[in-house]
Every structure is written in C-alpha cells, then in structure tokens.
Amino acid sequence: MPERKNWIVLKFGGTSVSNRQNWDNIREVVKQHRDSGYKVCLVHSAVSGISNKLQEVIDQAPRGNYTALLDSIKDTHRDLADDLGLDAYELLGDYFLELDQLAKGIALVEEASFRVQAKLMSLGELMATTLGAAFLKKEDIETNWMDARDLLKTVPQKNASEKNIVLSAVCDDSPDKELQLELSDKGNVILTQGFIASDQSDKTVLLGRGGSDVSAAYLASKLKAEILEIWTDVPGMFTANPHAVPSARLLKHLSYEEAQEIATNGAKVLHPRCIMPARKHKIPVHIKCTHKPNLEGTVISSAVSDDTALVKAIAVRGDIILVSMESLGMWQQVGFLADVFEVFKNHGLSIDLVSTSESNVTVSLDPGLNAHFQDIRNEFVEELSAHCKVNVIESTSAVSLLGRHIRTILHQLGSAFEVFQEHQVYLLSQAANDLNFTFVVESEQADRLVRQLHEQVISQSGNQQSFGPTWPELMGDVEEKEELHEAWWKGKRDELVQLSREKGPSYVYSKDALIANTERLKELHSVDRFFYAMKANANIDVLKTFRSQDLGFECVSIGEVEEVFELFPDIDPGEVIFTPNFAPREEYEQAFDHGVNVTLDNIYPLQKWPEVFENRTIFLRIDPGHGHGHHDHVKTGGVHSKFGIPRFEIPEVKSIIDDISITVKGLHAHIGSGIKDPTQWKSTALILHEVAEELGGVDVLDLGGGFGIRENDTQASLNMKQVDELLKQFRDAHPNYELWVEPGRFLTATAGVLLANVTQLKGKGSVKYIGIDTGMNSFIRPALYGARHTIVNLSKLDKESTQVVNIVGPICESGDKLGIDRLFPESEEGDVILIANTGAYGRVMSSSYNLRMPATEILI
Ligand SMILES: Cc1ncc(COP(=O)(O)O)c(C=O)c1O
C-alpha cells in the first residue's frame, strides 16, 4: 500500500449517480484514488430529477396533490436500487415513510415553511447517498456513510432573508483539524451528501440549488484536500455552451478568477459559490466527465496560463430582472443611491450589475440570488417609487465576455454589435477588474449574439494553449475529412515553388481538392440538388471540374449565365439558377429566354414590369429576417441587408402573382457566408417552409450557400454531419419539399492557394515587413473583411519561425497588408510565399489597381 497521502474530495452530480454504468465508473474512480493512497471523501447529489419532484411536492401538497409524485420518487429509487443490485425497501424504507409524513403534514397545514421545505428536499440526497454507500460496500469498497449535517455548519449571513438563511445557507470553510482526525479514523472512503448542512441548532438547511458543488468545496477546505474533483455529465468548461455553439472549445485550464467569472455569469457546469473556498485554500479543482472518465477535463488552479487568449468564454444568464430607476432630481443630489439601495437591502435583494446616467440608474437582479423577488415585488416597487419612477423589465439575458484585459479586445466586437441595429441593449457594464464585459439584451436575441461573438472573438483568436477540442471532437461524433484539403499543397511544395518562380504571382487550384470538396458536400444526403455559386471562382477549369461532378450553377449576373451556356452548351437550363439583385429589367428577360430558374428578390419588378413575369414560373428570394456570417459585409439577411423580399410583403406578392398567373416553383434564402453554426440551414428551411405554406404550390426550398470552412488550423470546422441530421429532421417532417443548396466558398476555398515572390524586406525598429510581388490587387479579402489566411514561406517550410512580420504587397494603399503579425522564418528576396485557402473570392474579386495585373490562374 503506497504511503498515505492527503484527502481528495470527489463530487458527483445528479445524472452521474442515476444509473449503473456511471456507478461502475464511480467505483473505479474511487478505487483508483484510494489505491494510490488518497483518503477519499465522496460527495453526491440526489438522483437526477428527484430534487425537481420534491420541489413539486412542496408546491402541490398544500392542494392535496402529491401521491402520484411520491410514487414516482419512490419508483425512481426502486429502479436504481434494482439496477445496483440493492433492496430499496430495506435501505430506504424509513426515508419513504418520512417523505409520506412530511407531504401529509404540508397537505394538512396547507403550507410548507422554509424549515419543512429544507427537511423534505434533504431526503433526495439522503436517499441517493444511502444507495451509493451500499453499492460501494457491496463492491468491496469499505465505505463510511456520513450525514453531511454533522460535517457542515452554517455561519450567519448579514442582511440575508429568512428564505436564504434556510434554503441558501453559507457554511464555515476553515480547515478543521478535529474533523480531519475524526474522518481519518473512520477509514479511507467517506461518502456524504451534497446540498445539505445544519445550522447552529442542528436544524437542516440547504445550500441552494446546485449546492452540492459548494458542499464539496467546503469539505475540501475543511479537510485541506489536495484536489477537488467535480464529476459531471459534461467533459469540462467550454468557451460557450457547446449545445448552442458547436464550435465552442474545451477550456483546459483556468485561473480561479477566470473560472469564478465564467461560473458566476451563467456556465452551468460549476456552482459559482464553490470556487471561493477552493481559491482561498489553493485547492486545484478538476472538472471531469463521469461517463468519459479518461478525458482530461478542465483544471482550475492558481497556475498562470501564458496564452494570449484574452477572452476565454462567452456566457449567458437568462431570466435577468432589471430595475430601471428614473429621477430628474438625482443629478447632484447627495445620497440618492444610498436611499434607493437601502430599499433593495431592506427587501433582501442582491444587486448584480449597475449602470448610471444623469437621470437613470438601472440595476440587474440575479434570479439565482433573488428567488423571492416575485413574492415581494409589489411592496418593493411601491417603496422604491417614493424615490424615483420605477420600471421592472423582465425576459432579458445577460451576455458576458469573460477573460483577462477585456478592454483591449473591444475594438474587435464591431460587427457583432450589428445585432443591436435592430434590438435594444438595456444595460452595459464593464467590471472594474477588467475580467468581464456584460450586456443585457432581450432574451430572444441572446443565442444569436453569443454565436456571433464567439465566432468573432474566440474562433478567430487562434490556437491558444488553454483551448482544447470542441464538444463533437471530444465526444467522438465528428467526421474529420479535411486534412486532405488543408494539406494538399504541402505535398506539392517543389512544384509550387517552381511555378511561382516561372509564372510570377499565381493562383493555383488543385483539381483533386475540388473533387474531394464536392464529395464532402454530397454527403448531405438530405439535399436533393447541388449548385455551385460560381461567383466564388469563375475560372474555366474550375467550372469544368464541377460540371464533371454533375453540379448545377448558381449565377448572379447574366454574364455568369452566358458563361455557363458558352462552356456547356448542352446543359439543361433547369440546372442553372439566376439569382440577381437589383438587376436591370433586360437581364430577367434574357434569363427567361435561356429557360433557367429565375429568382426574384424584390417586389418592384412585379409591380413595375408585370409583363416580364406574366405566366412565368419563378423562384422568390426571401429575407428570413436576420443575417449570419464571418463579417458584416457577407451577411445577407435582415433589414439592413439589401437582399430578399421581407416577409411582411408576402401577402402583397401573393396577390400580384395570383393576378398575373405566376407559378412560384421555389423559395430561396441565403443568409450569409462562412457560417459554422450547423443549425442555420434547418432554421432557414423552417422559415421558407412557413412562407411556402402561405403561398401554396411551392416545390423547392433553396437554402443558399454559406457553408463555412476551417479558415486556418486554429478554427473548428462546420460539422456537416450535424447539418445533414438537422435537415433530415426537416425532411422527415415536410417530405413534400425538395431541398437545394448552392455553396461557393465550401467547394473552392481550400482548393486554391495564392503564390507570390518576396521582393524586398524592411525593418522599422521592431516592426518588420516582408514585401511580395502582388497584394490587394490580387487578393482583397484581408483588406475588405479583415480575413486572416494562413501564410507560409514555401521556400523555407522546414525552417524555424523566429520573427513576427507583416506580409505586404506593392500597392499604394496602407491597407495593402495580406497578413499582420505573423510568426515567420528569416526570409529573403526570391522566396516563394503561399497564402492558403484562397480558392474562393480571390481572383474573381481582383483588379488591376495601380495598373498592376492580378495573379494568373493555374489548375493542377
Ligand atoms: C445567393 C447566393 N448564393 C450562394 C452564395 C455562396 O456563398 P458561399 O460562397 O459562402 O457558399 C452567395 C454568396 O454571396 C450568394 O449571394
């Protein structure tokens, strides 16, 4: 037996203790720690769902409705006991009886005092831990069950309401030698309840919902544990809620301060109150996943991470209540804030965020700490109204950027704030410690805002040390087939260097990569037809390659339509879509003459040129009401976008199309480019479906393009499997519609690289420049969108990167920068530089500005 070490405290949450498979994992974790010499203190919650049911008993019993609830609570424990090979009645009979008696008592007196509530709720933990301890003993782990009320005692809280004193108690967390000795004597494995404690008169109190984490932290502090492990059903803390933002990354390590901010601001993984005791006593906290015990999870400690990621996470707290206080008299009035805050204090309300102006003070109340607000609302508002005009605003959410030196990244947020062109921000607050920047918005807008902010601030911030894999990568449900596309040029280095030297600046496209991208696209089995948005790259050889793969073409000008017929005279016109925007009348006439699918994205042509459309079959491009994408300029939905017919015009459109006998064959929407959120195409399908039902007779829903790619190796990719699954759900629900898509970037971006040759070097002190023989005239995306493309020195691919440089072109514009602050090897005149993922919106957007010809194009 190894030398005896210190305590380790393990906490398992409700889902972790609800089935046999997890209990087998718990047994192994306990054994491992015990066998490596730790004294194990295991703390766990009630079985999943039981606390909610007990709460329902408290709510329903005063009206006599509780027997079915009690039966269901007992059934759940009986099932779990069976699963664990235990006898529920033998172990839990007394608790079942107490449960019956308490519920009956509540029914009789028609109310439940806070004390009774605490007693009833505590049964959840007491029953679960009784089963847990019996199971471990049966599995030959000598386990001592202890009543947490003998281990944790409350301390008085200043200004706390009676409800908080009993149902959200605070306990002493100072290291306790006596307890350490007492528990050591009991053996190597102690098992006790989370969530419950006792007050000075030994009465049961609770630590608030989710309080088991807090119990574990208290016990870790009292026992001076070496480690606190929090075992949950998720593999750690993430940069955002991974269910809402699939590209969210695991946070491998965090400081206590960062973890505190993230937990306090809405991440559900960890109870915010559990960090303070751990921090105070410098106990590292490990967050681990019970059903995947081998994953590393998140480590929270005082070790400083040396990465440059300033924003570590974006969190959302829903159900925020705002109290807005308006008073003209407040200006220069001594004590106004003291007076109004006194009212909050008197009602036991805890204030979270504050924002002030000359005539208004708005504060937010965190519902977690102010659960009694609705009970005292009227009284509180009345009292406060003596000082000012009061407005209580509900259904808001607080979205917080969390990390270090938040102030320094505010400039990056520009286009994410585009959401607010249409919606109100109620309150903005930047914490004085610079760890938190929060805005309170309508709850409905919160998810969209988080996704946008995540994309802009976290996904673009590079491969930081503390960022781990995405959820799908961790849980093994991602299909990574992108290596080929990213790496194709690495295997062709000599050929590319030679080409660049011979031909000068060149776009080089890989035919194999174009075909591989097409094959990946076709894995969207829920989609019926695929069109290539030829605006992305209209190179003849690229178009021929896609035609050989049976793709149709999506054209945005009559020039593109004519190019398709010139190259492929035999193409079925049904395989061509014409989707112009503010095009002149003649283009529609010419498109009808070609027999292609014509998409109308404005009511104007119908009103002004009805004769062009009379008796025709057309598509309508709908504005689904919001845009999405990697940059403001590529979002193509919402009132500030010039594309699409707004939904409020549909009735008018319908009346015109009925009048002039137009058949609407399909509806179309394209909301933007570079989208990584897999839910977007299904959302679009649902909106188009609603419009289709309104119009009737529609067969096709064209969901546009916009499929995002992994721009560089620090970014998560779009999970196409998820896109497909979501679209399949749509199809299963609405089998009468054909689904079409029309990507551009997804098909071509990774298949192309831009090669250029180093012309000159320059050093202005510490700022270094590497000049190349083409610039924004060939490739405008970095200047236009701030796009960050991987850039390498192909001639020195094996050399170590030793300097930070800016890669610039020869154009007389200060924006002519292709890459800023890039880690690069020592470079010299004549070296060949490669800019990756330039196959889309590269050469097609080039110009001969400064009379410098753009890079030539080659397909290999
Ligand atoms: C109507 C339409 N469809 C498809 C696309 C292709 O978008 P992406 O290249 O992002 O797939 C665009 C791009 O602007 C578009 O405007």
Q: What is d(CA 227, CA 243) in angstroms, rounded to the nearest whole number?
A: 29
Output the furthest CA–CA distance in the chain (Å, rounded). 94
Distance CA 685, CA 667 (A): 10
Check whether 42 has a pLDDT greater than 80.
yes
**Same-domain status, 718 and 761:** no
Most confident of the ranges 402-416, 417-431, 525-539, 759-773: 525-539
Q: Which one of 155-164, 350-359, 471-480, 519-528 scores highest in mean pLDDT? A: 519-528
Residue 4 pLDDT: 57
Distance 556 CA to ligand 1 centre (A): 9
Instruction: Specify the pLDDT at position 480.
Output: 41
d(CA 124, CA 48): 10
Cβ pair 248, 470 in contact under 8 A: yes
Q: Are residues 363 and 465 in the same domain?
A: yes
Going from the Cα of 681 to the center of ligand 1, the distance in angstroms, rounded, reads 13
Position with higher pLDDT, 632 vs 457: 457
Report residue 413 as tokens: 């947020």
Which CA distances in Å does 473 have to 104, 139, 296, 530, 723? Answer: 50, 34, 13, 27, 16
- Show which of 233, 261, 284 is a domain's final residue: 233
Provide the pLDDT for residue 498. 96
pLDDT for 627 beyond 70: no
Please report the pLDDT score of residue 765 as a whole number: 80
Q: Within a domain: residue 169?
A: yes
Write out the H or E segment, with its range, that includes residue 646: strand 645-646
**pLDDT at 485 > cutoff 60:** no
Q: Sorting pLDDT into bands at 50, 70 and 90, what band is 542?
A: very high
How do residues 200-259 score in pLDDT, each as one tens digit? Answer: 999 999 998 889 999 999 999 999 999 999 999 888 999 998 877 767 889 998 989 888
How many residues are there in the chain? 860
pLDDT at site 680: 86
| Confidence tier at 1 by pLDDT (50, 70, 90) | very low
The reply to whether 306 falls in a domain is: no
Least confidently predicted of 139-148, 405-414, 444-453, 605-614: 405-414
432-442 pLDDT, tens digit each: 777 788 888 88
Q: Is 99 helix (H, G, I), strand (E, B) or coil?
A: helix
pLDDT at 261 over 90: no
Q: How far is the CA of 534 from the centre of ligand 1 (A)?
A: 9
Distance 478 CA to ligand 1 centre (A): 25
Indicate which residue's Cα is closest to atom 5 of ligand 1.
705
**C-alpha 555 to ligand 1 mean position (Å):** 10
3-state secondary structure at position 196: strand
pLDDT at residue 326 is higher than 80: yes
For residues 696 and 767, membership in a common domain is answered with: no
Distance CA 82, CA 92 (A): 13
Strand order in the sheet with 227-232: 144-145, 189-193, 39-44, 7-12, 227-232, 285-289, 298-301, 253-255
| Residue for token pair 């350490």 | 180
Name the average pLDDT for the chain: 89
Q: Are residues 421 and 356 both part of a single domain?
A: yes
Q: What CATH number is given to the structural domain containing 713?
A: 3.20.20.10
Do 762 and 644 share a structural domain? no
**98-107, 225-234, 241-250, 707-716: least confidently modelled range:** 707-716
**pLDDT digit string, tens, across residues 594-620:** 999 999 999 999 999 999 999 999 999
Nearest-atom index, ligand 1, CA of 668: 1
Work out which ligand 1 atom sits closest to the CA atom of 707: 11
Q: Which of 670, 680, 720, 750 best tests ligand 1's pocket when mutated (most atoms within 8 Å of CB)?
A: 670
For residue 305, being part of any structural domain is answered with no
Question: What number does the ligand 1 atom closest to the CA of 675 have?
Answer: 10
Q: Given this model, what pLDDT does residue 474 score?
A: 80
* pLDDT, tens only, 486-515: 579 989 999 999 999 999 999 999 999 999
Q: Within this chain, do residues 721 and 637 fall inside the same structural domain, yes or no? A: yes
Instruction: Using DSSP bridges, classify how beta strands 832-835 and 752-764 pair: parallel, antiparallel or unpaired.
Output: antiparallel
- If you take atom 16 of ligand 1, which residue's CA is the nearest one? 670
Pocket-testing residue among 517, 535, 578, 634, ligand 1, by greatest number of atoms within 8 A of Cβ: 535
pLDDT in tens, 282-305: 999 999 999 889 899 999 998 866
Q: Read off the pLDDT of each residue in 735-744 and give the average, rounded to a whole number.
A: 97
Domain assignment of residue 587, yes or no = yes
The whole domain housing 714 covers 511-744
Tell me if residue 716 falls in helix, strand or coil.
coil
- Mean local confidence (pLDDT), 640-661: 92
R_g of the chain computed on alpha carbons: 32
3-state secondary structure string, 102-131?
A: HHHHHHHHCCCCHHHHHHHHHHHHHHHHHH
Q: Is residue 142 part of a domain?
A: yes
229 and 322 inside one domain:
no
pLDDT > 50? residue 564: yes
DSSP secondary structure, 235-267, as one string: SS-BSS-TTT-TT-EEE-EEEHHHHHHHHHTT-
pLDDT at 396: 86
Are 14 and 33 members of one domain? yes
Average pLDDT of the residues in 781-796: 86
781 and 725 in a common domain? no
CB atoms within 10 A of CB 127: 28
Q: Which atom of ligand 1 is nearest to the CA of 705?
A: 11
CA of 61 to the centre of ligand 1 (A): 58
Using CA atoms, how far apart are residues 180 and 430, in angstroms rounded to an integer?
42
User: Average pLDDT in the 112-138 region?
Assistant: 97
- The span from the CA of 228 to the CA of 220, in Å, is 6
Euclidean distance between the first and final Cα of the chain, in Å? 65
What is the structure's pLDDT at 317?
85
SS3 content of the chain, % helix, strand, coil (to 5): 40, 25, 35
**482 pLDDT more than 50:** no
- pLDDT confidence band for 354 (50 / 70 / 90): confident
- What is the pLDDT confidence band of residue 43, given thresholds at 50, 70 and 90? very high
- Confidence band, pLDDT 50/70/90 cuts, at residue 477: very low
Residue 711 has pLDDT above 80, yes or no: no
Query: Do residues 531 and 608 share a domain?
Result: yes
d(CA 59, CA 400): 33
- CA 568 from chain centre, in angstroms, equals 44
455 shares a domain with 527: no
Q: What percent of the chain has pLDDT over 90?
A: 64
CATH of the domain at 390: 3.30.2130.10
Over residues 673-703, the pLDDT tens digits come to 888 778 889 989 999 999 999 999 999 999 9
Give the type of residue at 770: I
CA of 817 to the centre of ligand 1 (A): 25
Tell me how many domains the chain contains: 4
Of 87-91, 117-121, 455-459, minimum mean pLDDT range? 455-459
Query: In this structure, is residue 74 part of a structural domain?
Result: yes
Of 453, 474, 495, the one marking the end of a domain is 474
Amino acid 645: pLDDT: 94
CA–centroid distance, 685 to ligand 1, in Å, is 16
Report the CATH number at residue 806: 2.40.37.10
Q: Which two tokens stand for residue 431?
A: 């914490």
Average pLDDT over residues 473-478: 63
pLDDT at 635: 52
From 130-144, 359-373, 445-459, 544-558, the region with the lowest mean pLDDT: 445-459
Task: Indicate which residue's Cα is closest to atom 4 of ligand 1.
Answer: 705
Ranges 27-41, 95-109, 434-448, 590-604: which has the least confidence: 434-448
Closest CA to 543 of 528, 559, 520, 563: 563
Q: Indicate whether 335 belongs to any domain.
A: yes
pLDDT at 712: 60
Most informative mutation of 673, 701, 837 for ligand 1 (most atoms within 8 A of CB): 673
pLDDT, position 71: 94
Distance, CA 16 to ligand 1 centroid (Å)? 45
Q: How much of the chain exceeds pLDDT 70, in percent?
A: 92
Give the atom of ligand 1 at the shortest distance from the alpha carbon of 706.
10
Q: Taking Cα atoms as reference points, which of 412, 457, 413 lies closest to residue 314?
A: 457
Lowest mean per-residue pLDDT among 249-253, 266-270, 390-394, 801-805:
266-270
Atom 12 of ligand 1: nearest residue by CA position: 705
pLDDT at 470: 81
Does residue 481 carry a pLDDT above 50?
no
Domain final position from 711, 744, 777: 744
Same domain, 755 and 721: no
Pocket of ligand 1 (CB under 6 A): 533, 535-536, 554, 579, 636, 670, 673, 704-707, 742-746, 840
Contact assessment for residue 579 and residue 618, using Cβ atoms and an 8 Å cutoff: no
Within a domain: residue 278? no
pLDDT of residue 685: 95
| Nearest one of 139, 153, 269 to 201, comparing CA atoms | 153
User: What is the mean predicted confidence (pLDDT) over 545-567?
Assistant: 98
**Catalytic positions, written as ranges:** 812
